[in-house]
């Protein structure tokens, strides 16, 4: 029996990179949180402390900022692909890279009815994300792009039921045919391409997600998620797979009868914890292999 | 020498009240976080444990939810005034009340180009607030309304300078005539009325704040704050005083010259801590007395 | 009618200063979060953007780090007094300063039964705090020290009642003579001295607070807080006033009878929000004037 | 081409279960955050909204609280195994379960030198965790226990180097032979048993981790992590694998020379972001198959 090093990766997390495009008076802003992680044969760093193969995380940080200028940040997928390929292609011991980017949206301040040239307010809804995974060198290199969003908080005040469920000795929940349904959506979708109109695709997918949430008469959050995923796949031929994670933010009708007041789904207490949590994948039955595209930081 | 009870208050904090108006198919949502605090002669509860004068915080919670139905939540100021007056007027030992409300904004989901009747997405920018203070009973009763907003994150990518400042032996900061200025604004303004078009005033004040941020060529964050406060007071005759608290969210130009790249205010690192913090009051020179309107939870 | 600048202050918030004493092999660590705020006549910065009186927040940051070496951090009160006096005494336009310090505690890692010389683990309970307020120059200068702690989470699983309270139409809470009482204590106490054995006093006060929490059979959280404050004042002749803020972290006995199980205060659900919040001052009836010692960041 | 449901799971997250043992005057407290997730054939809930196979998350919540009484919480692993097996064994459509538990530690308040019977203070350092995965029914059932800890914040003020690393065009970091090394450790270890002295093993493993952190002269955080994992595997025959995730909490020596002061690794600025992040697995070369033991919520 021996003790060995297993899977590992290292990098610089949460570089807060802001890029301003100021080629004209009408500035454009890109506001990112960038995390890089490298994979390869770094075993000597672990077993003997020999750093000869280790590109410092400080260097990775410098590179993340330098690439914001050198290749720019037209779209986060484009920037992350360039950064990941650089680490793998230009650093001998590096055999794989994972680049995660969060983007915070801004909108122009309206002054006198006109969008201002260089003043912005944080849009503040959902955060746009991408995770690019590069594996292997030269001809054998693969690249995966998984984009997504999170913290998209939605609520529908009717059009949601929950009934006909399985019961056991611990079941006390009554059936309901009219409830508030609310969630903070976390979605990621896997592209089958590395060359795409990323910004347009993002806007379309976001719109599909919110439209399906609004339009589907929901018999369960599960059903709503499936219709969201299906809607995305039907509209986006370059997407192979959609993963959705949705807390059920419980809105409990408050018992006002005790005070002589009706409450026909009008007054609710929003509870923090516990919350239901539904997680599902909707995919094409011929989806190509995902490689390491879905590996999270922790399951590496 | 004796030991005595000094200032005190108690209540129920952070009731997450949601009110849905569903009188027609076009639902309306009000999403609040409500905190109540009562003042009066509660000394027996402290010194002997006698609760005879203490209206339980659980009762305050029930009341907050009941009033969401009974008086409704047309505007948070209106709801908070009714709730505060109820506690003082209808509870013998209660001599004062402080009601704090945060409101989270929602917007309708657009489906097929039309705003949906009952499906919403969190707007997610700033949080609207109000603090109502009721003091005294009957003829002697005073009521103060301090409304505001927080977490309004703004950035201007040029039009901001910082130069000509005082220096000492610990000063190393270079002067600059072009920098990124960013903040997460926290503002509160004191009304001189308790009967107002609260929603319209809020929208106008928010617009004044963002317009001033955008329009003022800034020689210092202090100057921008003063112009914001002045703009509000000039436009709102019912506002006597504006308090502004603004972190300076530092955007440091990243040194890319080391890598052979120019960086003419294009690539920044956003730092979390430390941050500058500027806090100022702008007021009318004939502002009426504020009573306890500005007392925070901690300075009671 | 004119519009004027009212109360204001500015500074650098949350400087994360760590000081290592390494004069011997047995290192000592001080881990702080330091915020500075200056007061004085800075009106020109607001009204015309003239910075001639403004010592930059960047300079304040440099000074906070420099003073960690120059005067050291024997105790946070000592360090904060030195820093505050420096700003007021050595900077012409500065007429007052407020220095807030949080201290995070560490304990030595035990290796082979012995405390290690230079390896530490975060103690992680409460955070120790001080706020020093310096007002005026020369002979007229006053200095106030308000120290405290926060995030001291305590629970007693019996020995707490709540009964005999006032009721109204919205009261549904049953009386109880045995409940779990839990809080996350936030306390501040005002010293009447600026020269003291700060570390010993802190340890004694903390011990008084937890002992009183444990020992007092509680008829209400109010009573427990009063006994805490009284205990501190009785033991510490240099303390004039104690302010306590205590959320009531509700532990609700879970209804297990529905599943044929007894629950005699054995299984609880801990709720996040809403929570009771009790805030009280316990003071000597001959406490000297507090000046601006209690002004918080927001009520300035 | 068809669109199909892929991997999915659902449950109730973050049930805040507190269990008090009060069989004698000396109470014992267990303070948990419990999340349950079920797997099986729930496709009808997604595709047609048919809930006939779906045990509500509300029922899962009830069961988590009921099991705190019914089987008790001697150790979190024991409780989680019972809860997971119940869901799979007693619910027809359920084919797998994942139970995640966080435990918050408390210690007795010392009164008059004696530990109090029923009053506690939150210990507040690391959080103890377990994740139990149950897969399959009857003879084919497998059970995996992955326990761990997180938020164990450690620092060594010397005994850490970083030198001899790979450089490229973006490298500016100087080598160092004496630096502060600090991290907030997140570790998980996979047991090969489901019947163990869980509490003793936890204490031993925690002690090994902190001792290795203190004792190993570190040439890199990677090396320290490897020695931690090796130490655990050498001491614990029932552990097959250790995964460690460690942010490098950067402590930058502050440049005081500008102010005429030496700074020989005495005064540091602690930076929040970005931070290095090192993640590694240390395992036996004959470790048995992990099944789905390592699947996180997101990579399901």
Q: Which phi-psi region, left, alpha or beta, contains residue B116 (left: φ > 0; alpha: ψ -120 to 50)?
A: beta
Give how many domains chain B has, as a whole number.
2
List of chains touching C (3+ CB pairs within 8 A): A, B, D
Range(s) of the domain holding residue D70: 8-140
Q: Is residue A213 part of a domain?
A: yes
Does A80 fall in a domain?
A: yes
Angle between helices D221-235 and D198-215 (to 10 degrees): 140
- pLDDT single digits (tens) B184-243: 999 999 999 999 999 999 999 999 999 999 999 999 999 999 999 999 999 999 999 999
Handedness of CA D192, D196, D199, D205 (dihedral sign): negative
For residue D105, list chain C residues with Cβ-Cβ distance below 8 A. Answer: none
Task: Identify which of A123, A158, A251 has the shortest CB distance to residue B118.
Answer: A158
Question: For residue range B31-81, what is the model confidence (pLDDT) as tens digits?
Answer: 999 999 999 999 999 999 999 999 999 999 999 999 999 999 999 999 999
Q: Are residues D167 and D127 in the same domain?
A: no
Select which of A61, A144, A243, A250 is catalytic. A250
- Positions of B marked active-site: 12, 57, 250
Among residues B196, B190, B203, the alpha carbon closest in space to that of B284 is found at: B190
Cα three-residue angle D244-D247-D250, rounded to 5 degrees: 150
User: Catalytic: D250?
Assistant: yes
Instruction: Give the pLDDT of residue D296.
Output: 75
Chains in touch with A (≥3 Cβ pairs < 8 A): B, C, D
For range B15-31, the mean pLDDT: 98
D260 φψ region: left (φ > 0), alpha (ψ -120 to 50), beta (else): left
**Could you tell me the pLDDT band of residue B258, with boundaries at 50, 70 and 90?**
very high
Q: How far is CA A149 from the centre of its chain?
A: 4
**B22 vs A109, A157, A259: nearest CB:** A157
Contact between residue A239 and residue A233 where contact means Cβ atoms under 8 Å apart: yes
Per-residue confidence (pLDDT) for residue C41, from 0 to 100: 94
A195 and A272, same domain (yes or no): yes
Distance from CA of A171 to the nearest CA of C (A): 9
Q: What share of chain A is helix, strand, coil (3-state, %, to 5)?
A: 25, 40, 35
Is residue C145 in some structural domain? Answer: no
Contact B274, B249 (CB under 8 A): no
Strand positions, DSSP E, A82-170 = 94-104, 106-111, 114-122, 127-135, 142-156
Contacts of B169 in chain D (CB under 8 A): 259
Asked, for residue A2, whether it belongs to a domain, the answer is no
pLDDT band at D162 (very low <50, low <70, confident <90, very high): very high
Final residue of a domain: which of D75, D106, D140? D140
User: What stretches in chain A show pLDDT beneath 50?
Assistant: none
Among A93, A119, A140, residue at a domain's last position: A140
Same-domain check for residues D233 and D274 = yes
Asked whether residue A155 falls in the same domain as residue A132, the answer is no
- Whether B27 is covered by a domain: the verdict is yes
Residue B146 domain-assigned? no
Residue D256, pLDDT > 80, answer: yes
**C295's tokens:** 């002004």
Between β-strands B251-253 and B142-156, what pairing exists: parallel, antiparallel or unpaired? unpaired
In this prediction, residue C295 carries a pLDDT of 86
d(CA B150, CA B137): 32
Q: Is D234 helix (H, G, I), strand (E, B) or coil?
A: helix
Q: Residues D126, D193: one domain? A: no
Q: How far is CA A140 from the centre of its chain?
A: 27
Closest CA to D293 of A295, A294, A299, A293: A299
Q: Is A272 exposed, middle or buried (0-12, 13-18, 19+ CB in 10 A)?
A: middle
For residue A1, being part of any structural domain is answered with: no
Long-range contact set of residues A41-46: C-beta below 8 Å, sequence gap at least 24: A41/A93, A41/A95, A42/A8, A42/A10, A42/A93, A42/D222, A43/A5, A45/D220, A45/D222, A45/D223, A46/A5, A46/A8, A46/D222, A46/D223, A46/D225, A46/D226, A46/D280
Q: What does residue C98 show for φ and ψ, rounded to 5 degrees?
A: -130, 120
Beta bridge partners of A110: A115
Locus of tokens 């031993």: D204
* Residue in A169, A170, A272 closest to C273 by CB: A272
Closest D-chain CA to A160 = D49
- pTM over cut 0.95: yes
| pLDDT tens figures, B136-179 | 999 999 999 999 999 999 999 999 999 999 999 999 999 999 99
CB B128 within 8 A of CB B103: yes
Q: Are residues B259 and B217 in the same domain?
A: yes
DSSP calls for B237-272: TTEEEEEEEEEE--EEEP--GGGT---SS-EEEEP-
Positions in chain C short of pLDDT 70: 1, 297-300
Q: What average pLDDT does this structure show over D268-291?
A: 97
The residue behind tokens 């139905």 is B69
**Which chains neighbour D (Cβ–Cβ under 8 Å, 3 or more pairs)?**
A, B, C
Same domain as D190, residue D118: no
SS3 label, residue A195: coil
H helices of B174-258, where?
A: 198-215, 221-235
Q: Which residues of A touch B74 (CB under 8 A)?
A: none
The phi, psi pair for D164, rounded to 5°, reads 75, 20
Q: Which residues of C are catalytic?
A: 12, 57, 250
Residues C135, C186, single domain; the answer is: no
pLDDT for residue D258: 98
B43 φψ region: left (φ > 0), alpha (ψ -120 to 50), beta (else)? alpha
Cis peptide before B20 (omega within 30 of 0): no
Domain match, C135 and C174 both: no
Non-local (6+) Cβ contacts of A164 within 8 A are A175, D50, D51, D52
CB–CB contact D274 A2 (8 Å): no
Question: Which residue among D65, D211, D261 sits closest to C254, beta carbon to beta carbon?
Answer: D65
Size (chain C), residues: 300
Q: What are phi and psi of D220, to 5 degrees?
A: -175, 155
Å between D272 CA and nearest CA of chain B: 7
List A57, A59, A192, A230, catalytic entry: A57
Searching chain A, which residue's CA lies closest to the CA of residue D295?
A299
d(CA B132, CA B253): 43
Minimal-distance CA residue of chain C relative to A270:
C273
Residues in A closer than 8 angstroms to C172, CB to CB, are: 258
With a cut of 70, say whether residue D150 has pLDDT above it: yes
Chosen domain end from D140, D166, D192: D140
Strand partners, D164: none
Residue showing tokens 């600026």? C194
Residues counted in chain D: 300
pLDDT of residue A74: 97
CB contact under 8 A, B3 and C277: no
Q: Of D55, D61, D222, which is closest to A10 when you measure between CB atoms?
A: D222
Report the pLDDT value the prediction gives residue A297, as an integer from 0 to 100.
Answer: 66
Separation of alpha carbons D127 and D129, rounded Å: 6
Retrieve residue A247's tokens. Answer: 């807390």
Sign of the torsion formed by the C-alpha atoms of C36, C40, C41 and C47: positive
Same domain flag for C191 and C90: no
What would the two tokens of residue B80 be? 């908070």
Reading the block at residue B75, the tokens are 């505007």
pLDDT score, position D124: 80
> Which residues, including other chains, have CB under 8 Å from residue B55's CB and lie 6 or more apart?
B38, B87, B91, B93, B94, C165, C166, C167, C168, C171
Provide the CATH number for the domain around residue C263: 3.10.270.10
C120 strand-pairing partners: C108, D155
Q: Of B210, B216, B207, B214, nearest to B235 (Cα)?
A: B207
**Exposure class string for C122-132: b at 16+ Cβ within 10 A, else e:** bebbbbbbbbb
Tokens of D9: 């799971």
Is the domain of C163 the same as that of C292? Answer: yes
Same domain (yes/no): D207, D299: yes
Q: Pseudo-torsion of CA B117, B122, B128, B129, nearest 10°?
A: 100
Answer whether residue D160 shows pLDDT above 90: yes
Any domain includes A270: yes
């Amino acid at each position: 029996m021996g003790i060995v090093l297993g899977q590992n990766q290292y990098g610089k997390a949460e570089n807060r990179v802001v890029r301003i495009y100021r080629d004209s008076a009408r500035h454009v802003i890109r506001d990112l949180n960038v995390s890089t992680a490298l994979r390869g044969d770094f075993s000597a760093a672990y077993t003997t402390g020999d750093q000869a193969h280790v590109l410092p995380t400080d260097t990775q940080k410098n590179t993340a900022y330098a690439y914001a200028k050198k290749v720019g940040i037209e779209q986060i997928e484009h920037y992350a692909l360039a950064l990941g390929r650089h680490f793998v292609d230009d650093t001998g011991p590096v055999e794989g890279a994972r680049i995660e980017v969060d983007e915070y949206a801004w909108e122009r301040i309206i002054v006198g009815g006109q969008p201002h040239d260089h003043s912005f307010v944080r849009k503040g809804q959902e955060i746009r994300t991408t995770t690019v995974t590069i594996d292997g060198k030269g001809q054998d290199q693969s690249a995966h792009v998984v984009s997504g969003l999170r913290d998209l908080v939605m609520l529908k005040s009717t059009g949601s039921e929950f009934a006909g469920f399985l019961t056991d000795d611990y079941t006390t929940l009554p059936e309901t045919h009219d409830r508030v349904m609310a969630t903070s959506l976390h979605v990621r979708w896997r592209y089958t391409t590395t060359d795409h109109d990323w910004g347009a695709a993002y806007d379309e997918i976001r719109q599909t997600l919110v439209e399906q949430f609004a339009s589907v008469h929901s018999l369960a959050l599960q059903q709503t998620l499936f219709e969201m995923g299906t809607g995305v796949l039907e509209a986006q031929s370059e997407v192979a797979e959609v993963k959705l994670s949705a807390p059920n933010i419980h809105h409990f009708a408050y018992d006002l009868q005790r005070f002589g007041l009706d409450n026909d789904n009008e007054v609710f207490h929003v509870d923090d914890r516990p919350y239901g949590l539904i997680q599902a994948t909707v995919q094409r039955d011929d989806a190509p292999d995902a490689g390491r595209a879905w590996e999270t930081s922790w399951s590496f």
